[in-house]
């Protein structure tokens, strides 16, 4: 009997199985169900992507070789969607050649199993990758909810991920530029400059354009976190930052916020006047 694959109490993890062979689908559905998992099924890449638009599973078990849209291309398209990029994808293949294994990993897969599938081995791999995914996703949620202004790019300066706070700050400084999936050109240029210098915690300042002139954005290079991922922190620098934060947090007027900042800095009534 295979040990149950368990997630948080009271919740069953969901696995999407993508395979064009009815026998394999039936075998895997029974095995996963007995292990305590909820199973979704798709018979080709296109239907898998359509299903993922409606529901997000916890893991994808993907046949590598299918007619039409194969597993590799399906995985690449899945990973381009920021809402799905965190999903672990395990490839199933009867191909043992190294080039196919490498192709699966390059497409964004985290692991592979060879056919015929050994159920105990598959369940062990599923347990590991579900646990890893929970930790990684939990860390991202923590970043998003604790107000961290972080973003990561690849070596070319293309955005890989960005916390909501950083995204809002960039949108305030560069309205109409960049977007959810891209950075403003001026920011990309300076990020690349910082990365080329390669010194952790080195910072540069960017002036806000147009109506944001007088506000400055501080960008700090933190570290290289993966072979093609570079981490940066952004924040507002210069006069007015604290006042604006108080205005937003306490619903104050600009003058009230300014006075409160001076009080916090220990200024006397005469100095404030």
Which CATH number do you get for residue 36? 3.40.50.2300
Instruction: Say if 273 falls within a structural domain.
Output: no
Looking at the structure, tell me whether residues 140 and 36 fall in a common domain: yes
Looking at the structure, tell me whether residues 139 and 159 fall in a common domain: no
The C-alpha atoms of residue 175 and residue 168 are separated, in whole angstroms, by 10
For residues 219-258, b (16+ Cβ closer than 10 Å) or e, as one string?
bbbeeeeeeeebbbbbebeeebeebeebbeeeeeeeeebb
Looking at residue 48, its pLDDT comes to: 96
The C-alpha atoms of residue 169 and residue 245 are separated, in whole angstroms, by 12
Percent helix, strand, coil in the chain, to 5, is 45, 20, 35
What's the number of domains the chain is made of? Answer: 2
Looking at the structure, tell me whether residues 156 and 109 fall in a common domain: no
Give the residue carrying structure tokens 């075998």: 27
Looking at the structure, tell me whether residues 152 and 139 fall in a common domain: no
pLDDT at 5 over 80: no
Instruction: Say if 185 falls within a structural domain.
Output: yes
Answer with the residue of higher pLDDT: 83 or 13.
Answer: 13
Instruction: Say if 262 falls within a structural domain.
Output: no
pLDDT at 112 over 80: yes
The β-bridge relationship of strands 203-207 and 14-18 is unpaired
Looking at the structure, tell me whether residues 33 and 125 fall in a common domain: yes
Q: Average pLDDT of the chain?
A: 80
Looking at residue 77, its pLDDT comes to: 94
Per residue in 70-81, pLDDT (tens digit) is: 999 999 999 988
**CATH code, domain with 180:** 3.30.450.20
The β-bridge relationship of strands 150-153 and 229-237 is antiparallel
Looking at the structure, tell me whether residues 125 and 66 fall in a common domain: yes
Answer with the residue of higher pLDDT: 208 or 176.
Answer: 176
pTM over 0.75: no
Most confident stretch, 131-140, 166-175, 234-243: 166-175
Looking at the structure, tell me whether residues 111 and 232 fall in a common domain: no
Looking at the structure, tell me whether residues 51 and 65 fall in a common domain: yes
Looking at the structure, tell me whether residues 19 and 140 fall in a common domain: yes
Looking at the structure, tell me whether residues 134 and 22 fall in a common domain: yes
Looking at the structure, tell me whether residues 137 and 166 fall in a common domain: no
The C-alpha atoms of residue 20 and residue 65 are separated, in whole angstroms, by 9
Per residue in 192-229, pLDDT (tens digit) is: 888 887 777 778 888 766 544 567 788 888 888 878 88
Instruction: Say if 195 falls within a structural domain.
Output: yes
Instruction: Say if 111 falls within a structural domain.
Output: yes
The phi, psi pair for 11, rounded to 5°, reads -130, 130
pLDDT classification of 260: cutoffs 50, 70, 90: low
- State which residues form the domain around 60: 14-144
Cα–Cα nearest to 121, from 111, 110, 106, 131: 111
Per residue in 136-167, pLDDT (tens digit) is: 766 565 555 555 788 889 888 888 888 888 88
Looking at the structure, tell me whether residues 160 and 90 fall in a common domain: no
Instruction: Say if 255 falls within a structural domain.
Output: no
């Amino acid at each position: 009997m295979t040990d149950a694959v368990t997630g948080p109490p009271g919740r069953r993890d969901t696995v999407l199985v993508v395979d064009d062979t009815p026998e394999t689908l039936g075998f895997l559905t029974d095995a996963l169900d007995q292990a305590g998992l909820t199973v979704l099924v798709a018979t080709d890449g296109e239907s898998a992507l359509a299903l993922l638009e409606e529901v997000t599973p916890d893991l994808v078990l993907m046949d590598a070789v299918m007619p039409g849209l194969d597993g590799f291309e399906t995985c690449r398209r899945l990973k381009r969607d920021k809402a799905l990029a965190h999903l672990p994808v395990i490839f199933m293949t009867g191909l043992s050649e190294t080039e196919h294994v490498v192709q699966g990993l390059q497409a964004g897969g985290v692991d592979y199993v060879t056919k015929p599938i050994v159920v105990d081995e598959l369940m062990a791999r599923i347990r590991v990758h579900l646990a890893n995914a929970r930790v990684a996703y939990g860390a991202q949620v923590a970043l998003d909810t604790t107000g961290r202004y972080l973003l990561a790019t690849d070596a070319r300066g293309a955005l890989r991920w960005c916390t909501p706070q950083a995204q809002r700050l960039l949108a305030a400084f560069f309205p109409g530029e960049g977007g959810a999936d891209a950075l403003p050109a001026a920011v990309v240029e300076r990020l690349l400059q910082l990365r080329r210098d390669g010194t952790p915690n080195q910072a540069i300042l960017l002036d806000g354009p147009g109506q944001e002139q007088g506000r400055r954005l501080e960008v700090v290079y933190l570290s290289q976190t993966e072979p093609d991922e570079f981490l940066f922190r952004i924040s507002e620098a210069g006069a007015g930052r604290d006042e604006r934060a108080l205005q937003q947090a306490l619903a104050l007027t600009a003058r009230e916020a300014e006075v409160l900042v001076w009080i916090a800095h220990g200024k006397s009534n005469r100095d404030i006047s």
